[in-house]
Amino acid sequence: MMRAEQLIRAFPGRRLAELEANDVSDYLARLGQKPNLQAWQFRQSVDAIQTLYSIVRTEWPVPPDWDFWRDSARTLEAQHATTAREFAPVTPEDYAGRIGDTRFAPLIHKHLDAFVRLASGIRTRGMSIRTEKTYLGWVCRFLLHFDARAPDELVFLYDKVLEQPLGDLGAFRRSRRPRRLPVVLSRNEVNRLLSELDGMQWLIASLLYGTGMRLMEALRLRVQDLEFDRGLIVVRRGKGDKDRIVPLPESLAGPLARHLREVRALHQRDLDAGYGEAMLPDALARKYPSAPREWRWQFVFPSGRLSRDPRSDATRRHHLHETAVQKAVVSAARRAGIAKRASCHTLRHSFATHLLESGYDIRTVQELLGHADVSTTQIYTHVLNRGGLAVRSPLDAG
C-alpha cells in the first residue's frame, strides 16, 4: 500500500473521506509529470488508490476516471501509428518489431537493403503504417516460403520498389477479402452507448459519431485543428496522407471548449515544470524549433502522464493511447445492452449510414469519410433502415 500512503501524505491534515474526485485526479496529474516514473509504477499507483477508495467507500457524484488514468500509463511505442511515420528504423530488430515477430530479424538482416527500400516506397506513396507492416510481413514470409507464395502478393515489391516488373504473369486475379456489411447502430443505440460514457471518453466517442473520424484521426487532433468560429475540424494526414474537413458538431462546441481550458491549464503546468513540448513531424520541428511548446500544436486529447519519446528520448506529453477509448466504448456498449459487436469504428459506420438516411448525397458522405473511391462509400447504401432494397415484405402486405 506504499502507493496509497503517498496519496495520504500529499494531503496533510485532510482525511481520505474529505478528498474530492478532483483532488485525486489532480494528484495523479502531478504524479504523471514525473518523467522518471515508470509506466508500471504509475499504473500501480492508480490501482492502489482505486482499491483504497473501494475500502473507504467514499461517495462521489462523479468518481475519478480510473480507466483513463490507468491507460495513461501506456506510451506511444516506436512502432505506434503516430510515431512510426516519422521514425526511421536502422536495425533489423526495428523492422522485425514493426512486423511483430522478432524471429524475422536474421532474415531482415540478410536482406536489409530491400526492406529499407520497401518501407521508403510505401511511405512516399502516403500509405498507412499498418499497410507497411502488412507488406513487410508478406515479404518475410515470401522469402521464408518462396514456393508457397503466390506471385500476385509481391507485385508491389518487384514493380514499385525493386523496379523489376514481373511482366505477364498469366491469368490470375488479386486475392480479395469478402466484402462484409459493416455493423451499424441505430440512433437509439448510439445514444444509449454514449450515455454510458463520461469525461474524455464520452467526448472522443461523441466526436467519432458526430464527425465520422477514425479513432487515430481524433486522437491526433491538435488544438489549431478545431475551428470553432467556422464550425469545422481539419483532419490532417488521414488515411492516404490526405487532409479533409469535417463538421464540428454544435452540441460539442461547449464541452470541447471546456475541455480545452483544462488541457491548457495542464499544458501551462508542464511548461512551468520545464516540459510542455508536443511531438511534431521532424521537418516542422527543425524549421520551427519553438513550435513544439506552442499551445496551438498541443494534442486535444493528451495522455495523463509525461513519457519519453521513443525516437528522440525527449520527455513529452503524447496523445492518449487508443486502447483507452477502445476499451471504454466496448464496455459502454455492453452496459447499454447492445447485442451488436460495437467498437469505435462502428460509430464511424453509423455516422455515414445516418447521413445517407437523412438524405445527404453519397458524394458528400464520401468527402466527409475521406474515401478515395465512392464505391467504398456505397456499401453504406446496403445497410439503410429501409429493409432489403426498400422492398416491403409480403408478410406485411395484409
C-alpha cell at 273: 515544470
Q: By mean pLDDT, which of 39-53, 115-129, 195-209, 254-268 is the weakest?
A: 115-129
CA 99/CA 238 separation, integer angstroms = 22
Q: Other C-beta atoms within 10 Å of 328: how many?
A: 24
pLDDT digit string, tens, across residues 3-35: 888 888 899 888 888 889 889 999 999 999 988
CA 121/CA 318 separation, integer angstroms = 28
Closest C-alpha among 280, 357, 350 to residue 311: 280
CA 11/CA 33 separation, integer angstroms = 18
Share of the chain above pLDDT 70, in %: 81
pLDDT confidence tier of residue 151, bands split at 50, 70 and 90 = very low
Share of the chain above pLDDT 90, in %: 43
CA 345/CA 209 separation, integer angstroms = 9
pLDDT score of 247 more than 90: yes
Note the pLDDT of residue 147.
Answer: 46
Name the pTM for this structure.
0.81
Residues carrying an active site annotation: 214, 239, 345, 348, 371, 380
Instruction: Using alpha carbons, list the distances in angstroms from residue 71 to 76, 99, 121, 213, 326.
Output: 11, 24, 34, 21, 11
Q: Edge-to-edge strand order for the sheet containing 226-227?
A: 226-227, 232-235, 244-247
User: CB-side exposure of 153: number of CA atoms within 13 Å?
Assistant: 18
Note the pLDDT of residue 169.
Answer: 52
Note the pLDDT of residue 312.
Answer: 74
Closest C-alpha among 306, 305, 277 to residue 292: 277
pLDDT digit string, tens, across residues 324-379: 899 999 999 999 999 999 999 999 999 999 999 999 999 999 999 999 888 888 88
pLDDT confidence tier of residue 92, bands split at 50, 70 and 90 = low
pLDDT confidence tier of residue 158, bands split at 50, 70 and 90 = low
pLDDT score of 110 more than 60: yes
Residue with grid cell 512551468, as numbered in its chain: 272
pLDDT digit string, tens, across residues 267-300: 999 999 999 999 887 678 788 888 999 999 999 9
pLDDT score of 239 more than 50: yes
pLDDT confidence tier of residue 118, bands split at 50, 70 and 90 = confident
Note the pLDDT of residue 181.
Answer: 85
SS3 content of the chain, % helix, strand, coil (to 5): 55, 5, 40
Average pLDDT, the chain: 83
